[in-house]
């Protein structure tokens, strides 16, 4: 059985907490980019999380040497790489498909298992494959593997859109492929997330020619070779938001440091609308929360909109709000798995297709609940922090996919959170 958190709720959070680097959403793609250049690339501000360890194993299967130090990963990439990312590793995390573009660009060949990861509804990689085909790759899906080959990828114009929204994963895949392609690649309707800009900055430091990252049109002029680099990954905006929502829900006063407030503009606006007081610095935010939050309507959209990954945490805050809130999910089909678990704790939340109605209650009570994915797990931890009595959150392996030592950081703020080896009887 997996590990669990046992939480005794009711204590406001107070103090300071430091945010780790964006390991899950950015650093994994940076290390995929390291495959583009033989030699040793070093990435700093790395959180020791499950996804990074799993991705390290993917790289090792490709012949890469991976060296770990606290906060640092060094990857030494050989002249000749393997080309197969096996199912037993790729099935654990969708980010493993990030090796597809670099392997095609450098080696002209890739065999990558179709991905796994959180179950949030259909998230096919058709856009990744279609874009690579437009660049001249021969793509086949055989026995659960993507088999791709090419002589040299060729620059072209590609539109990246899924369900009317830009695809972050496809944008990253095509960027990683285009930097060594022959000629100019233009990616239209590109994702604008800060992690896309971080990847572009990393690749530029390697010698890539990229313009427009952070806008809807990215232009890339292919080069003949890249060089290994040393790089600091950006702060994890989703981890920073987690501590802000935790404080907004439990009450208290917390300063979140080593973050970029500009990456969370809409989150900060939402917290202020909910009646929370904010002080904002260049790389920190201090949040003060007194009394119940106020009801706020939220609708998820691609960046710079409200991030879908933060919807479960916002729902937990609104479950205790004074009034009724409408929360609308526009990105994924299955983002509401946490709702039934919140209901077990006394929340009044009703799901109707892609939105839910949240009627605030005066308190939540502790219960045994289960994390279904990273964000749902974080939301249930926050619920446990504010609930009366004891809450047990099982399957925290999902939480460990993004957060390093979440229980330690929350405990430093006065929370009563303990990690146990397996769910225990109530």
Which sequence positions are flagged as catalytic?
118
Using CA atoms, how far apart are residues 378 and 375, in angstroms rounded to an integer? 5
Residues in the chain: 426
Using CA atoms, how far apart are residues 263 and 297, in angstroms rounded to an integer? 20
Using CA atoms, how far apart are residues 89 and 157, in angstroms rounded to an integer? 32
Quick check: 133 and 139 in contact, CB under 8 A?
yes
- Angle formed at CA 100 by CA 58 and CA 53, multiple of 5 degrees: 20
Number of H helices, E strands in the chain: 13, 24
Residues sharing a CB contact under 8 Å with residue 376, sequence separation 6 or more, in sequence order? 312, 337, 338, 341, 398
Q: What would the two tokens of residue 130 be?
A: 């279609």
Q: What would the two tokens of residue 100 be?
A: 């597809």
Give the burial class of 1: count Cβ atoms within 10 A of its Cβ; 0-12 exposed, 13-18 middle, 19 or more buried: exposed
Using CA atoms, how far apart are residues 322 and 344, in angstroms rounded to an integer? 20
DSSP 89-140: HHTT-GGGGGGHHHHHHHHSEEEEEPP----SS----HHHHHHHHHTT-EEE
DSSP 277-309: EEEE-SSEEEEEE-SPPBP--EEB-STTSB-GG
Q: Measured in whole angstroms, how far is the alpha carbon of residue 290 from the centre of its chain?
A: 30
Using CA atoms, how far apart are residues 114 and 146, in angstroms rounded to an integer? 7
Q: Crossing angle for the helix pair 168-178 and 194-205, nearest 10 degrees?
A: 10
Max distance between CA atoms of the chain, in angstroms, equals 64
| Three-class SS state of 15 | strand
CA dist list (Å): 99 to 37, 295, 346: 13, 43, 44
Residues sharing a CB contact under 8 Å with residue 340, sequence separation 6 or more, in sequence order? none
Using CA atoms, how far apart are residues 84 and 380, in angstroms rounded to an integer? 37
Using CA atoms, how far apart are residues 304 and 35, in angstroms rounded to an integer? 30
């Amino acid at each position: 059985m997996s590990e669990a958190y046992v939480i005794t709720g009711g204590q406001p959070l107070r103090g300071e907490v430091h945010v780790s680097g964006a390991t899950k959403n950015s650093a994994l793609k940076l290390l995929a980019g390291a495959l583009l250049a033989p030699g040793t690339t070093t990435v700093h501000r790395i959180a020791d999380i499950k996804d990074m360890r799993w991705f390290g194993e993917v790289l090792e299967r490709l012949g890469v040497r991976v060296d770990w130090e606290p906060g640092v990963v060094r990857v030494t990439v050989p002249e000749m790489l393997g080309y197969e990312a096996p199912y037993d590793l790729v099935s654990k995390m969708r980010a493993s498909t990030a090796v597809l573009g670099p392997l095609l660009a450098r080696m002209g060949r890739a065999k990558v298992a179709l991905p796994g990861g959180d179950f949030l509804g259909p998230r096919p990689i058709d856009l990744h494959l279609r874009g690579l085909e437009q660049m001249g790759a021969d793509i086949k899906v055989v026995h659960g593997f993507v088999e791709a080959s090419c002589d040299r990828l060729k620059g072209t114009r590609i539109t990246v859109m899924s369900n009317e929204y830009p695809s972050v994963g496809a944008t990253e895949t095509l960027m990683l492929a285009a930097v060594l392609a022959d000629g100019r690649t233009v990616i239209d309707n590109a994702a604008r997330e800060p992690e896309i800009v971080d990847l572009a900055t990393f690749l530029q430091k390697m010698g890539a020619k990229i313009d427009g990252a952070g806008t809807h049109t990215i232009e890339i002029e292919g080069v003949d070779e890249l060089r290994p680099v040393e790089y600091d990954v950006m702060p994890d905006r989703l981890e920073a938001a987690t501590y802000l929502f935790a404080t907004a829900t439990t009450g208290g006063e917390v300063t979140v440091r080593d973050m970029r407030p500009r990456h969370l503009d809409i989150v900060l606006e939402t917290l202020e609308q909910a009646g929370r007081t904010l002080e904002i610095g260049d790389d920190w935010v201090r949040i003060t929360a007194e009394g119940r939050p106020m009801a706020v309507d939220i609708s998820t959209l691609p960046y710079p909109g409200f991030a879908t990954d933060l919807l479960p945490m916002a729902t937990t805050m609104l479950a205790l709000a004074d009034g009724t809130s409408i929360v609308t999910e526009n990105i994924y089909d299955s983002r509401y798995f946490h709702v039934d678990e919140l209901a077990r704790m006394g929340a009044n939340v009703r799901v109707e297709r892609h939105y839910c109605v949240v009627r605030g209650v005066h308190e939540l009570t502790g219960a045994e609940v289960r994390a279904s994915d990273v964000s749902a797990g974080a939301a249930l931890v926050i619920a446990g922090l504010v609930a009366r009595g004891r809450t047990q959150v099982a399957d925290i392996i999902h939480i460990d996919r993004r957060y390093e030592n979440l229980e330690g950081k929350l405990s430093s703020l006065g929370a009563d959170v303990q990690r146990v080896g397996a769910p225990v009887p109530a």
